[in-house]
Structures are given as C-alpha cells and as structure tokens.
Amino acid sequence: MRRPHPAHLVAPFALAFALVACSSPSTAPTPVEAPAVAASAPDAGPDTEAPAPPPSPGCGIVPPRTGLLAKQTLSVSGKARELYVSLPATYQPARGYPVVLVFHGASDTRPEAQREWFGVEKAAPPAIFVYPQALPRTRADGTGGSVTRWDLDGDEDLGFVDAILAELSATYCVEPNLAFATGFSSGGNFAQQLGCKRRSALRAIGAVSGPGPFSTKCDGPLAVWMTHDVDDNALPVAGARSSRDFWIKKNGCGAELVQEPQAECKRAVGCPADAPVIYCESKGVGHAVAGYAPKAVADFFATMMP
C-alpha cells in the first residue's frame, strides 16, 4: 500500500528592511510582508485496493444442491450433448474450484458407474467433476457396427469440451486455468488427444489404459500421468510406451526414468516443473483400472494445483 505524502510546508519568513537615508534619520524602516504559508492538502486517508474480481461469472450463484446433479444438455454444432456435473459436498459459491473432466470408456456411459468404479472423485480434493457423454460412432477396430465412444479423428468432441468449460464458468465458481482430464480406455485416448489439442485449457491429464495422442501437432508441453497393464489384450502396452516416449520428447525431458513411491510408476528426469511425465505399468490387471490408479491420478492432479 502506498504511504501518503503530506504536502510540504513552505515558511520563508525572511524580513527585509529598507535602508535609512543619511539625510532622513527620523524616517522609520518599511517592513516587507512575508509570503503566505502554503496550505496543506486535506489527507484523503490511506489508499484502498479494489477487491479482486471473482474467478468466473458463475461465482455467487447458489446451486440447487451438491453431489451428482441431474443430466444437463448442451447444444453443440446443432447436436444435443449430454453431461453430468458433480459438486463437492462443501461447495461454496464464492470460492473458485478446479474442474476435472472424466471420460468414460467405449459403451460405458453411466455416470454413477464412472464415479464409483473409476473412483478418482472420491480420492481427489474438492473439485467440480464432470462426466460428459460420447455419441454413437463406428467402431474404431473396423469390426463394423457402432459403439458410444469419443471422436479421436476429428474436432467434434473438442468443441463439446469447449462448450462444457464455457457453461461451467457461467454457472459455477470455477478457478481459471485449472482444468484436468482423465479417462479409461477410449476415455484415456481422448484425454490424451484433448491434452494435445487443448493444452491452453488443461493443467494436466491422467490416462488409464488409453494411449495417445493421435496427432503429433500438439499445442505444447503438458503434465502427464499414465498407467497401462502389460497383459492388456484390448490395447497392447506397446501403444502406451510409445505415448510415454512421445510426451517425454514433447516436454523436453531426459531419457532416464527414476522410481516413484508407487512401485509401478517411474518419473522422467529433467522435465519442466509444470510438465512432468509419470508412467506406470501394472501386471495381471488386463484391460481394467489398476487398484492404485484412482488415488494416483487424484494425487498427481493435486500436485498441479496451487
């Protein structure tokens, strides 16, 4: 805070006397009037700082309740897109919260199952969790038919995420630049693709049994946590190892991997502080969520929060 500076007081009271002429000894000297004293400006008191603006336009809006809210629908490029929002039990409308986007695997769109089975929400610090729903698409494996999965080839679901983040900012108290993405299988694939294409919107990703990204033209370095099982027959571990190497190079890390406290995990050395790469490999789990993964993802995201 700036210290107030009082106005300077000017008081030159020098008195000049007229010289007395030798021929007129009886003439009294004429005094010269002193200049007026400058008046001090009134003290306006200490400066006050303007209050900080709220984190997002939705701050101050009281939600109907907390926990898993009813299904919401957004219109994105002429299509109705569905999502579920889960607010922490301690949600305060004036406090900014991080956002965690959880992307389901192919066909498994139930938000209740994602909350309980995937389990990151239960292990994480208070945050606004979002469970978006994919659309039916042709199977990526070329076997024919359709399955509810994420768009890994185009921008349709990227636009969906853009709309989600804008809606959350307008409706809830969201901390800017503090969004995270995680997912399993197809959801992990998309979390990686989202991290590549929407780096400016995400702080970190956590991919479980979902290699990626599927583009080499990524926006920039990104904090990445990954896990994959060596016995995964649906998505072989070789794809995850390629993803690990991609992010290590993209983030400018060294080639060496050092052991993390979690036995299955190693961290790349020499990464930027805001763009670490942690890669984990389990065994015997197959194409499923390893038991350590939910808490490890939540803990990794927590290290990326202020």
3-state secondary structure of 186: helix
pLDDT value at residue 30: 47
pLDDT value at residue 168: 98
Question: Closest Cα to residue 14, out of 26, 32, 28, 27?
Answer: 32
Flag whether pLDDT at 3 surpasses 50: no
Flag whether pLDDT at 104 surpasses 70: yes
Question: Cα separation of 101 and 169, whole Å?
Answer: 14
Instruction: Place 242 in a pLDDT band, splitting at 50, 70 and 90.
Output: very high
* Mean pLDDT for the stretch of residues 212-234: 94
User: How wide is the angle at C-alpha 299 spanned by C-alphas 185 and 87, nearest 5°?
Assistant: 80
**CB–CB of 175/162 below 8 Å?**
no
3-state secondary structure of 177: strand
- Omega before 42 cis (within 30°)? no
Q: pLDDT of 14-50, one tens digit each? A: 333 333 333 343 444 444 444 444 444 455 555 556 6
C-alpha distances (whole Å) from 68 to each of 27, 61, 64, 139, 301 are 102, 17, 11, 30, 21
Tokens of 174: 């969201």
Sorted by where each starts, the structural domains of the chain and their CATH numbers stand as 75-303 (3.40.50.1820)
Question: Cα separation of 178 and 180, whole Å?
Answer: 7
Helices (H) and strands (E) in the chain, counts: 6, 13
**CB–CB of 235/211 below 8 Å?**
yes
Question: Closest Cα to residue 58, out of 216, 187, 182, 165?
Answer: 165
pLDDT value at residue 34: 47
Q: Which residues of 181-215 are buried (b: 16+ CB within 10 A; e: fewer)?
A: bbbbbbbbbbbbbbbbbbbebbbbbbbbbbbbbee
Q: Which DSSP state fits 35?
A: P
